[in-house]
């Protein structure tokens, strides 16, 4: 156990009762988890298949896996679970699907799919109302995360909208079941339900998962917390690590109070604190400490580091958002050249996804490799999912989820009512939708027109399926795309031609990829399962191994670290976010800024603009209130002076260090005055 300090070592070896490691950013919490896994396997002799470590994002899980494999060889980790909460939930649901009333081969609906189902369930007046669908989806998700069942939601509804959404929730659940599908939230809620209602199954899993480790514990919501409790049971073989200052998912139902709840639920809970930070230089830490001190605290944590004082935190003021992107990228190029670093040493972090576009554009112009973490992956795109669903259905006529996805995409007169009747019928006969479409029994349920359109399609599926067994996969795929008229469908269903063409380009990309796989003598069945099974995580791994700049939201950056970090858009209405100005939300926005700052190891640059294009209009911006909460002595202001609202005060761009300091002080005073006025 080298490179561990005393409290870390204590945390790793402690197995007498549940353990909570509560500590600030970069203090080695994740390191405690990975080393503890190694300790349990190598020193205690536990079977890796009895150990599960869970966290929140795919990227964090991947990072954790990578760290574990530095400590243990592949033989020692065989059977070990290191995953997200959702993947763990999925495993449980898959293995115990019967007890939950599902058939094998269930499908996971993503957020787009669920929105589609909700839309289909709505009355025609509501169908086009995207905002309503959004609200409904969000509300249902919160209910699920709080383990509120449809009946309870109905009983509790105290106004019309809630009542309407609660009814929708009930129908939505029914629909999912009929499709043999689950959504993202079900992956946690169903295992909880399962373990509560079936003590025998719970016991089996408790015997299977004998030690549980949870990273980023502050972000667990009610259902995740219940799942942790049910898995650990009375034995309480549990280590959780977290930082209340990094709780940034309240909007998704996360409850930092779960940290306190632990003390109540596990009276024998042991708490260990870590205070030495191994990540960042002291100026960065001081900025983080000072910022977060503005939030109320029950437990005070002061981080310190042996990494020296480090460079000042630079604050670049740009003219507008274009200028901001240009400056960040040229700064990055200059810095890389000067310090002989790699592109992957840099991260550009922002509050909202939409902020990435300009940076992408400029990075591309300069031919700098970058990747967007947590963005929509190729395979999550609608058009790719559509075409893949066709191919899935050709090779597996029982893939009901694929059938449902494309039965009416492009439109072919197979309506929701037809699908519903078909679904109910297939369910009662326990056969797939395609098989059911040919049965005599269906004929009394559907009118002849509906039946004609349905059978026309399913027959086509079967014919193409035959051909797919003999012909080259890429040929079949291209023919499918042509025969269904996908290109025209995109043109008609997208809002503008550009979007349609972009999507078609993605389809072309998929087709040429299929051709490449086909050259390796793979048949369509093999290719489809290859693509379906191809671990998304693996693909993203490839991405990360490339030397490229990381672009991501502050949310997605949690748990990660980079030598050089840019936090862009340090402005009111961006950070803090414009919809987050009530007191509780400001606290959360401040934690988000804290997460951002503490990602940086060596250098941190923050940027803001004077003007920014929003909703097509150039608007004046205001510096983020969080800037003035940072220690003035650690900031170095650069670029356009901020004082635009007072042109007579306009100063020249500061050049010498002394000038920069002086302008910095002036900016801070100005900022303070401005904010006090508000
Ligand atoms: N005892 C130690 N000696 C040397 N380096 C360490 C030690 N503990 C942790 N580190 C390093 O410090 C960095 C931060 O550690 P880690 O990511 O585990 O912190 P964390 O508390 O999980 O941070 P976060 O709150 O951001 O998730 C990592 O690069 C890790 O390898
Ligand atoms: Mg961590």
CATH value at residue 211: 3.40.50.300
- For residue 3, give the 3-state DSSP assignment: coil
Domain boundary among 128, 152, 179: 179
Of the residues 283, 381, 392, 599, which is catalytic? Answer: 599
Of the residues 34, 224, 246, 418, which is catalytic? Answer: 246
Of the residues 30, 84, 224, 239, which is catalytic? Answer: 30
Please, are residues 52 and 625 in contact by the beta-carbon 8 Å criterion? no
φ, ψ (nearest 5 deg) of residue 580: -125, 55
Whether 80 is in a domain gets the answer: yes
Residue 667: band (very low, low, confident or very high) from pLDDT cuts 50, 70, 90: low
Residue 312 is given by DSSP the state P
Please, are residues 272 and 617 in contact by the beta-carbon 8 Å criterion? no
| Mean pLDDT estimate for the chain | 86
Distances (CA, A) of 298 to 22, 215, 388, 452, 521: 12, 21, 51, 68, 62
Domain boundary among 508, 539, 570: 539
Residue 650: band (very low, low, confident or very high) from pLDDT cuts 50, 70, 90: very low
Structure token digits, residue 593:
């800024």
- For residue 584, give the 3-state DSSP assignment: helix
Distances (CA, A) of 326 to 301, 329, 563: 38, 5, 21
Please, are residues 313 and 285 in contact by the beta-carbon 8 Å criterion? no
Residue 286: band (very low, low, confident or very high) from pLDDT cuts 50, 70, 90: very high
Residues 608 and 579 both lie in one domain: yes
Q: How many angstroms separate the alpha carbon of residue 28 from the centre of ligand 1?
A: 3
Whether 569 is in a domain gets the answer: yes
Please, are residues 98 and 152 in contact by the beta-carbon 8 Å criterion? no
Q: How many angstroms separate the alpha carbon of residue 33 from the centre of ligand 1?
A: 11
pLDDT of residue 540: 45
Sheet bearing 600-609, strands edge to edge? 370-372, 549-553, 346-350, 562-567, 600-609, 313-318, 635-639
Element (H, E) at 51: strand 51-55
Whether 293 is in a domain gets the answer: no
Whether 677 is in a domain gets the answer: no
Gap between the Cα atoms of 103 and 501, Å rounded: 38
Residue 345: band (very low, low, confident or very high) from pLDDT cuts 50, 70, 90: very high
Mean pLDDT check: name the lowest of 211-225, 260-274, 360-374: 360-374
pLDDT of residue 501: 82
Residues 214 and 244 both lie in one domain: yes
Residues 255 and 390 both lie in one domain: no
pLDDT of residue 126: 73
Whether 662 is in a domain gets the answer: no
Structure token digits, residue 513:
């990829």
pLDDT of residue 446: 94
Listed in sequence order, the residues at least 6 apart from 150 whose beta carbon sits closer than 8 Å to its beta carbon are 166, 169, 170, 173
* Per-residue pLDDT at 615 exceeds 80: no
Chain-centre distance for alpha carbon 59: 9
CATH number, residue 443: 1.10.486.10
Listed in sequence order, the residues at least 6 apart from 76 whose beta carbon sits closer than 8 Å to its beta carbon are 41, 42, 48
Regarding beta strands 611-614 and 617-620, do their DSSP bridges make them parallel or antiparallel, or are they unpaired? antiparallel
Residue ranges of E strands in 479-534: none
Residues 75 and 199 both lie in one domain: yes
Distances (CA, A) of 112 to 108, 119, 214, 352: 11, 11, 29, 19
Residue ranges of E strands in 186-343: 211-214, 238-242, 270-274, 276-277, 304-305, 313-318
Residues 432 and 566 both lie in one domain: no
Q: Is the dihedral of CA 646, 650, 655, 661 positive or negative?
A: negative
* Per-residue pLDDT at 276 exceeds 70: yes
Distances (CA, A) of 672 to 31, 628, 630: 39, 7, 12
Residues 520 and 394 both lie in one domain: yes
pLDDT of residue 427: 82
Instruction: State yes or no: is 599 an active-site residue.
Output: yes
Structure token digits, residue 51:
């150990």
pLDDT of residue 509: 75
Domain, as residue range, for 496 = 378-539
- Most confident range, picked from 362-371, 442-451, 523-532: 442-451
Mean pLDDT of 495-503: 78
* Per-residue pLDDT at 651 exceeds 90: no
Domain count, the chain: 4
Whether 517 is in a domain gets the answer: yes
* Per-residue pLDDT at 91 exceeds 80: yes
Structure token digits, residue 303:
């981080």
Residues 400 and 416 both lie in one domain: yes
Count helices and strands in the chain by DSSP H and E runs: 27, 19
Residue, of 301 and 390, whose pLDDT is higher: 390
Gap between the Cα atoms of 65 and 338, Å rounded: 33
Q: Give the mutation target among 3, 10, 24, 30 for probing the ligand 1 site: most ligand atoms within 8 A of CB.
A: 30
* Closest to 169 (Cα-Cα) out of 87, 156, 249, 408: 156
Residues 158 and 207 both lie in one domain: no
Composition of the chain by helix, strand, coil, percent to 5: 55, 15, 30
Annotated binding site for ATP: 23-30, 279
Residues 399 and 491 both lie in one domain: yes
Mean pLDDT of 393-412: 87
pLDDT of residue 674: 52
Q: Which atom of ligand 1 is nearest to the CA of 216?
A: 27
Model ipTM over 0.95: yes
Mean pLDDT check: name the lowest of 46-55, 269-278, 360-369: 360-369
Over pLDDT 70: what percentage of the chain? 88
Mean pLDDT check: name the lowest of 315-324, 509-518, 593-602: 509-518
pLDDT in tens, 304-328: 899 999 999 999 999 999 999 999 9
pLDDT of residue 2: 61
Q: How many angstroms separate the alpha carbon of residue 6 from the centre of ligand 1?
A: 14
Instruction: State yes or no: is 496 an active-site residue.
Output: no
pLDDT of residue 182: 85
pLDDT in tens, 554-573: 998 988 999 999 999 999 99
Structure token digits, residue 387:
């075409």
Mean pLDDT check: name the lowest of 408-412, 501-505, 574-578: 501-505
Whether 667 is in a domain gets the answer: no
583-587, long-range: CB < 8 A, 24+ apart? 584/250, 587/295, 587/296
Residue 255: band (very low, low, confident or very high) from pLDDT cuts 50, 70, 90: low
Q: How many angstroms separate the alpha carbon of residue 27 from the centre of ligand 2?
A: 8
Rg (CA), the chain: 27
| Cβ count within 10 A of residue 309 | 13
Mean pLDDT check: name the lowest of 146-150, 304-308, 375-379: 375-379
Residues 206 and 244 both lie in one domain: yes
Residues 203 and 92 both lie in one domain: yes
φ, ψ (nearest 5 deg) of residue 487: -60, -45
* Per-residue pLDDT at 29 exceeds 50: yes
Mean pLDDT check: name the lowest of 163-177, 194-208, 238-252, 547-561: 238-252
* Per-residue pLDDT at 385 exceeds 80: yes
Residues 267 and 142 both lie in one domain: no
pLDDT of residue 103: 74
Residue 608: band (very low, low, confident or very high) from pLDDT cuts 50, 70, 90: very high
Domain boundary among 179, 209, 230: 179
Whether 289 is in a domain gets the answer: no
* Per-residue pLDDT at 494 exceeds 90: no
- Residue carrying the six token digits 């030690």: 211
Give the CA-trace dihedral at 596, 597, 598, 602, to 10 degrees: 120
Mean pLDDT check: name the lowest of 130-134, 202-206, 267-271: 130-134
Query: Ligand 1: residues within 6 Å at CB?
Result: 3-5, 8, 23, 25-31, 243, 246, 278-279, 559, 561, 598
Mean pLDDT of 162-186: 87
* Count, residues in the chain: 678
């Amino acid at each position: 156990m080298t490179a561990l300090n005393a409290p870390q070592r204590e945390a790793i070896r402690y197995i007498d009762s549940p353990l909570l490691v509560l500590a600030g950013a970069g203090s080695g919490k994740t390191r405690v988890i990975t080393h503890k896994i190694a300790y349990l396997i190598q020193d205690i002799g536990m079977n890796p298949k009895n150990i599960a470590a869970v966290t929140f994002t795919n990227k964090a899980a991947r990072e954790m896996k990578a760290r574990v494999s530095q400590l243990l060889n592949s033989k020692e980790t065989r059977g070990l679970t290191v995953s997200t909460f959702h993947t763990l939930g999925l495993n449980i649901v898959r293995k115990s699907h019967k007890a939950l009333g599902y058939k094998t081969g269930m499908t996971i609906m993503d957020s787009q799919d669920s929105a589609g189902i909700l839309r289909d369930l709505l009355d025609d007046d509501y169908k086009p109302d995207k905002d309503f669908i959004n609200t409904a989806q969000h509300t249902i998700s919160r209910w699920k995360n709080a383990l509120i069942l449809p009946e309870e939601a109905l009983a509790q509804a105290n106004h019309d909208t809630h009542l309407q959404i609660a009814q929708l929730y009930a129908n939505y659940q029914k629909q999912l079941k009929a499709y043999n599908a689950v959504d993202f939230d079900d992956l946690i809620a169903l295992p909880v339900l399962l373990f509560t209602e079936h003590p025998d199954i719970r016991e089996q899993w408790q015997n299977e998962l004998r030690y549980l480790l949870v990273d980023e514990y502050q972000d667990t919501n009610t259902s995740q917390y219940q799942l942790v409790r049910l898995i650990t049971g009375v034995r309480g073989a549990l280590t959780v690590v977290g930082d209340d200052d990094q709780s940034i998912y309240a909007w998704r139902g996360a409850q930092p109070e779960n940290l306190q709840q632990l003390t109540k639920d596990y009276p024998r809970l042991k708490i260990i604190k870590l205070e030495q930070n191994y990540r960042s230089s002291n100026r960065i830490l001081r900025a983080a400490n000072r910022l977060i001190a503005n939030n109320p605290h029950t437990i005070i944590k002061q981080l310190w580091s042996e990494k020296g004082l480090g460079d000042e935190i630079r604050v670049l003021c740009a003219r507008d958002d274009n200028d901001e992107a240009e400056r960040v990228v040229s700064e990055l190029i200059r810095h890389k050249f000067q310090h002989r670093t790699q592109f992957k040493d840099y991260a550009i972090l922002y509050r909202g996804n939409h902020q990435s576009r300009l940076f992408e554009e400029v990075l591309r112009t300069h031919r700098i490799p970058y990747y967007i973490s947590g963005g929509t992956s190729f395979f999550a795109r609608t058009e790719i999912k559509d075409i893949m669903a066709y191919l899935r259905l050709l090779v597996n006529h029982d893939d009901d989820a694929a059938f449902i996805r494309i039965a009416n995409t492009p439109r072919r007169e197979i309506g929701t009512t037809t699908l519903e009747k078909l679904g109910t019928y297939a369910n009662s006969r326990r056969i797939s939708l395609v098989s059911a479409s040919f049965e005599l029994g269906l004929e009394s349920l559907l009118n002849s027109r509906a039946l004609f359109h349905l059978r026309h399609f399913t027959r086509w599926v079967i014919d193409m399926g035959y051909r797919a067994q003999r012909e080259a996969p890429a040929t079949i795929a291209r023919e499918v795309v042509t025969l269904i008229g996908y290109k025209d469908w995109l043109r008609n269903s997208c809002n503008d031609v550009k979007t349609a063409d972009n999507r078609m380009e993605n389809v072309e990309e998929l087709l040429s990829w299929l051709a490449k796989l086909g050259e390796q003598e793979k048949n369509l069945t093999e290719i489809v399962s290859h693509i379906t099974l191809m671990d998304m995580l693996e693909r993203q791994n490839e991405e990360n191994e490339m030397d490229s700049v990381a672009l991501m939201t502050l949310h997605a950056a949690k748990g990660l670290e980079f030598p050089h970090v840019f936090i862009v858009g340090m402005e009111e209405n961006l950070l803090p976010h414009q919809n987050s100005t009530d007191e509780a939300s400001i606290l959360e926005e401040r934690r988000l800024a804290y997460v951002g700052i503490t990602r940086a190891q060596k250098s941190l640059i923050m940027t803001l603009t004077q003007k920014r294009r929003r909703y097509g209009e150039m608007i004046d911006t205001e510096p983020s209130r969080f800037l003035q909460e940072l220690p003035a002595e650690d900031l170095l202001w650069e670029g356009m002076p901020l004082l635009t609202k007072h042109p007579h005060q306009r100063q020249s761009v500061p050049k010498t260090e002394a000038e920069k300091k002086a302008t910095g002080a002036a900016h801070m005073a100005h900022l303070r005055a401005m904010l006090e006025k508000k």
